[in-house]
Amino acid sequence: MSQDMHFDLVILGILVAFIVYSLLTRAVDRSLLTLPIIFMCLGYALSEPLRSAAPPEVLNQGKRLLAEITLVLVLFSDASHVQFSQLKQSWRIPARMLLIGLPLSILLGMLVTWLISPEGGIAMALLTAAVLTPTDAALGQNVVTSANVPEKLSETINVESGLNDGLVLPFVLLGAILASAGMAGANTGGLALEAALQIVLGPLAGIATGWVVARLMDVAQARRWIVASAEGVVFLAASFAAYVLAGVIGGNGFIAAFVAGMIFGNSYKHNIRFVREFMEGAGLLLTMSSFLVFGALLLPDGLAHASLKTVLIAVMFLTVVRVGAIWLSLTGSGLKTSEKLFLGWFGPRGLASILFTLVIIDEFEFPDEAELLACVSMTVALSILVHGLSSTPLARWIGKRPAR
């Protein structure tokens, strides 16, 4: 069998899996299985056939392109659904988790990583903590959608996961630049200035793109110039316009996409349902592909370099670091102990950590890159399993807790 035919058969198998999963989505929702569990395991099973069917450079280029496309769309989409007007009555808990809990998670994670693996240095500890801080509500989707979970908790989880991937981006960028500079032995002063410019100019590109596109769409809607099928095209183009504009002016494109989504979602005066509809269709395909790529290309390499240290770091991030930071951030919030533990536990690591890792490993060179990959792989794989399998039972548990 020729290599081309082998590759075609692997791709055909993947497409069949996409079709079968889509046909059984309702049945899967009623089970303990989740999309990340299914496609991570499928990707791992297809790892060897996929690697033998395609040249390494093709796989590397493909996974980088997939990561960039998915990350831009996820950042824009998540931010666009956080409506500031709707948070006026319930902003305190998400704000505590984002403004206090997120920096604490990075600080505690950096400390834990450095204590367990001091040879990597502070910069690699910062990068590891930043990559492993953002949460992914999709890994515990049953918690978000369950009628058993109090609305204030499910809304908090949604808001936090929608915003923390964008808010953590500057820390990821800073950690990557400092770690890379340390390896090269270069002067970090110029790199720090470059990072600062990217962090400042990225939001400016996002603000401009989000506001202008929102105004143009409002005009088109008011004058009935636009058909419903074209609204998703505007969302898609606006996401990448912010990303490209940031690159042109020297800003960070991912930060720009996140800020553009936030500005667009809060400036657009009409119904924004088309963003959700697009992400439920094409976005679902990208999500399946991302977890499959994680299982096929990242997880095997991560397992190959896994050690007691990387497993310990992964467990600490999913327990002590996350739960401790959220618990501290919610002190004095009025929440019950069970609710604090529930919010602390449901900080699953998934899509953002995968995508950040794919992008920065391709763009930068670090010392102990294999250990970073192992830490991310172990943390995400454990999170996919434990958070996915515990979401339904714990949703029922929190629903049975007595109200205040």
Tell me which of 318-327, 343-352, 358-367 is least confident. 358-367
d(CA 263, CA 274): 16
Residue 345, token pair as written in the block: 């536990």
Rg (Cα) of the chain, in Å, rounded? 21
**Among 116-125, 185-194, 296-305, which stretch is predicted with the lowest mean pLDDT?**
185-194
- Percent of the chain clearing pLDDT 90 (strictly above): 31
State the pLDDT at residue 252. 85
pLDDT tens-place string over residues 77-92: 888 877 766 666 667 8
Q: Domains in the chain, start-ordered, CATH in brackets? A: 3-400 (1.20.1530.20)
In percent, the amount of the chain with pLDDT more than 70 equals 91
What single-letter DSSP state applies at residue 367? T
- pLDDT band at 290; cut points 50, 70, 90: confident
Is the full-model pTM beyond 0.85? no
Measure Cα distances from 356 to 221, 223, 244, 300, 382 in Å. 36, 40, 18, 18, 18
Arithmetic mean of pLDDT, 136-154: 75
Q: 102 to each of 84, 326, 347, 355, how far by Cα in Å?
A: 19, 8, 11, 19
| Tens-place pLDDT, residues 5-61 | 677 888 888 999 999 999 988 888 777 788 888 999 999 999 988 888 788 888 888
Helix (H) / strand (E) element for 216: namely helix 188-222
Span 296-312, average pLDDT: 91
What rounded mean pLDDT belongs to the chain? Answer: 85
Count how many Cα atoms sit within 13 Å of the Cα of residue 175 in the half-sphere of its side chain.
29
pLDDT bin (cut points 50, 70, 90) of residue 111 is very high
pLDDT tens string 181-214: 766 555 555 566 666 777 788 899 999 999 999 9
Q: At what angle do helices 169-184 and 188-222 cross, to 10 degrees?
A: 150
> Has residue 375 got a pLDDT over 60?
yes
Query: How far, in Å, CA of 397 to CA of 160, rounded?
Result: 22
Q: Is the pLDDT of residue 241 over 90?
A: yes
